[in-house]
Amino acid sequence: MSALLDLLMGVFRQPTLGGVALELASLAAPLWLAALVGLLIGWAWRPRWALAVVGEAPPETPALPPPRATADDSCRNNELVAVVPRTAVAAATPVEDEGLAVDTGDLMHLRRLVKEKDGGPSWIHMMDKTLPTMRYQAWRRDPEGGPPQYRSSTIFEDASPEVVRDFFWDDEFRIKNTWDDMLLQHETLEECTKTGTMVLRWVRKFPFFCSDREYIIGRRIWASGKTYYCVTKGVPRPSVPRCNKPRRVDVYYSSWCIRPVESRNGDGSMTACEVLLFHHEEMGIPREIAKLGVRQGMWGCVKRIEPGLRAYQIARTAGEPLSKCAAMAHVNTKVDPDELITAEDKTEASSTNNAEAEKPKHWTGNIPKVILVGGAVALACTFDHGLLTKALIFGTARRFAGPGRR
pLDDT tens digits, residue range 231-285? 999 999 999 999 999 999 999 999 999 999 999 988 889 999 999 999 999 988 8
Predicted confidence band at 207 (pLDDT cuts at 50, 70, 90)?
confident
Sketch the domain layout of the chain as residue ranges. 121-342
pLDDT score at 99 = 84
DSSP secondary structure letter of residue 364: G
pLDDT score at 111 = 96
Peptide bond into 246 cis (omega under 30): yes
d(CA 366, CA 401): 9
- Whether residue 143 contacts residue 128, with contact meaning beta carbons closer than 8 Å, is answered with no
Q: Which residue blocks in 200-302 are alpha helix, DSSP H?
A: 287-302
Q: Is the pLDDT of residue 338 over 50?
A: yes
pLDDT score at 339 = 76
What's the rounded mean pLDDT across residues 18-32? 68
DSSP secondary structure letter of residue 405: G
Share of the chain above pLDDT 70, in %: 62
Other CB atoms within 10 A of residue 8 CB = 13
Which one has a higher pLDDT value, 52 or 35? 35
The answer for residues whose C-beta is within 8 angstroms of residue 380's C-beta and 6 or more apart is 389, 390, 393, 394
Q: Is the pLDDT of residue 394 over 70?
A: no
What is the signed CA dihedral for 214, 216, 222, 227, rounded to 10 degrees? -10
Amino acid in position 33 = L
Q: Is the pLDDT of residue 214 over 90?
A: yes
Predicted confidence band at 79 (pLDDT cuts at 50, 70, 90)?
very low
- Whether residue 161 contacts residue 226, with contact meaning beta carbons closer than 8 Å, is answered with yes
Q: Is the pLDDT of residue 359 over 60?
A: no
**What's 121-342's CATH class?**
alpha beta
Q: Is the pLDDT of residue 7 over 80?
A: no
Which one has a higher pLDDT value, 394 or 276? 276
**Can you name the residues that pair with 286 across neighbouring β-strands?**
none
End-to-end distance of the chain based on CA atoms, in angstroms? Answer: 30
Amino acid in position 242 = R
- Whether residue 137 contacts residue 124, with contact meaning beta carbons closer than 8 Å, is answered with no
Q: pTM for this one?
A: 0.65
What's the rounded mean pLDDT across residues 133-161? 96
The answer for residues whose C-beta is within 8 angstroms of residue 59's C-beta and 6 or more apart is none
pLDDT score at 80 = 34
Highest mean pLDDT among 1-5, 19-23, 187-191: 187-191
Among candidate residues 138, 141, 186, 142, the one with its CA nearest the CA of residue 305 = 138
**Can you name the residues that pair with 127 across neighbouring β-strands?**
138
The rounded mean pLDDT for the chain is 77
pLDDT score at 393 = 44
Amino acid in position 231 = V
- Whether residue 10 contacts residue 385, with contact meaning beta carbons closer than 8 Å, is answered with yes
Q: Which residue blocks in 170-203 are alpha helix, DSSP H?
A: 171-177
pLDDT score at 97 = 77
pLDDT score at 65 = 38
Alpha carbon of 293 to those of 106, 228, 290: distances in Å?
Answer: 28, 30, 5
pLDDT score at 90 = 36
Among candidate residues 242, 188, 194, the one with its CA nearest the CA of residue 217 = 188
Handedness of CA 220, 223, 226, 231 (dihedral sign): negative
Peptide bond into 121 cis (omega under 30): no
What's the rounded mean pLDDT across residues 303-321? 96
- E strand spans, 51-197: 75-76, 124-131, 134-141, 149-156, 183-192
Which one has a higher pLDDT value, 243 or 84? 243
